[in-house]
Amino acid sequence: MRLGGDLRGTLIVAAIAVVFTLIAPSILQLFTIITLTQVIGLSILALSLALVWGYGGILCFGQAAFFGIGAYAYAVAAVNFGGSTGAILIGILVAAAFAAVLGYFVFYGRVSDVYLAVITLTVALILYSLMRRTSGPEYKIGNALLGGFNGTGAPPINVPGRPDIILFPEHTFYVAMAALILLYVFCGWLVTTHFGRVCVSIRENETRAELLAYDTRAYKLGIFTIGAAVAAVGGIFFSVGVSRVTPDVFGLSQSALTIIWVIVGGRGTLIGPVLATFGLYYLTASLGTQQALNTNLVLGIILIAFVLAVPQGVVPGVRDWISGRRRRRGERARARRLRMRRPRGEAPDNGAQPGKTLGSDA
């Protein structure tokens, strides 16, 4: 697992994503563009867990909690504000504030990693159960009805300051892709900073980091809160793509899928979980059109196969394979150069001593 980030590689991937963003609406159907907006929101969720778990060493089983909080906060704020102007910021801030409060009690309470994973998952399930019980007309925030298990509508994004000008699905796709690219570059930059390197050192050996006079609790709280804010952005764009937000965003299946995306894509990378989200989403969508195979069974088999065969994930595995080929190719090239430099007629050095011939003792 890499201990830092390659900012140059991050920028190259971002440039490729920009090219895809520009050409996708012209070659894909409108339905595919709308679906891509939803998948982009899910990939931002995977990116947030890749940052928190892969670089901070915090296994957060309930990352979907911040994803859902951001979606609900955006929907409620957009309904009350009459547009998305300011609602996106509200969704991010509410999720980040919730994570900061939760993280303060968890990290400063010295809760171990296993219990932290259980606590975050429990919080997500509590929110799931709570939101399903808000179906009555009395459950509303301002003008926004929470809607219980049916959820509440998520207004589309509008031009900032102009709630009467709503973005078309193609334009919403551009905005969502821009958010994904910017967050990917931001996370790639963050892990190369002093803050990111300290977080990685805490992940590797928290006791040693404490002996070096770092307040590990503060660093873990910081990356935990940043990850929650990133997850909230994903929840916002997912809800906009679906045009609705329901309690299922807090569900156990959503939390489990996020873990699978990171494991398959590669913990310790940022682009791996993003690519795994796109790939596995369309795989499950294809499996949903047939009755022969159970989707959850296939996902389980994929997870077990990757854990056993490619424990590092797809991206680190491919990277190591390419590095190995380059190393072997370099070794062969050096061997050829040594053979070419040897004078003609000179026997290769076989370890025989001067004055002796092979097979003789004299």
Please compute the mean of the pLDDT values over residues 337-359 and round it to a whole number.
58
Q: How confident is the model at residue 2 (pLDDT cuts 50, 70, 90)?
A: very low
Are 159 and 22 a contacting pair, CB within 8 Å?
no
Q: Which structural domain, as residue segments, surrounds residue 232?
A: 8-250
Please compute the mean of the pLDDT values over residues 162-180 and round it to a whole number.
91
Q: How confident is the model at residue 344 (pLDDT cuts 50, 70, 90)?
A: low
- What pLDDT, on the 0 to 100 scale, is given for residue 359? 44
Query: Hey, what are 323's tokens?
Result: 């590095």
Please compute the mean of the pLDDT values over residues 181-187 and round it to a whole number.
96
pLDDT digits (tens, 9 = 90+) for 141-159: 988 889 888 899 999 999 8
pLDDT digits (tens, 9 = 90+) for 222-263: 999 999 999 999 999 999 999 999 999 999 889 988 998 999
State CA 178 to chain mean position distance: 16
pLDDT > 80? residue 201: yes
Please compute the mean of the pLDDT values over residues 326-353 and round it to a whole number.
69
282 located within any domain? no
Query: Hey, what are 326's tokens?
Result: 């380059």
Q: How confident is the model at residue 305 (pLDDT cuts 50, 70, 90)?
A: confident
- What pLDDT, on the 0 to 100 scale, is given for residue 289? 67
Return mean pLDDT, the chain: 86
pLDDT digits (tens, 9 = 90+) for 58-98: 989 989 999 999 999 999 999 999 888 899 999 999 999 99
pLDDT > 70? residue 342: no
312 located within any domain? no
Distances (CA, A) of 202 to 75, 199, 227, 341: 36, 5, 16, 49
pLDDT > 50? residue 3: no
- What pLDDT, on the 0 to 100 scale, is given for residue 307? 74
231 located within any domain? yes
- What pLDDT, on the 0 to 100 scale, is given for residue 362? 35
pLDDT > 50? residue 180: yes
- What pLDDT, on the 0 to 100 scale, is given for residue 345? 56
Q: Is 252 exposed, middle or buried (0-12, 13-18, 19+ CB in 10 A)?
A: middle
230 located within any domain? yes
339 located within any domain? no
Q: How confident is the model at residue 47 (pLDDT cuts 50, 70, 90)?
A: very high
More confident residue, 345 or 324: 324
| 52-78 exposure pattern, b = at least 16 Cβ within 10 A, e = fewer | bbbbbbbbbbbbbbbbbbbbbbbbbbb
- What pLDDT, on the 0 to 100 scale, is given for residue 106? 93
pLDDT > 90? residue 347: no
Distance CA 53, CA 1 (A): 12
How many folded domains does the chain comprise?
1
- What pLDDT, on the 0 to 100 scale, is given for residue 357? 46
142 located within any domain? yes
333 located within any domain? no
Give percent of the chain with pLDDT exceeding 70.
Answer: 91
193 located within any domain? yes
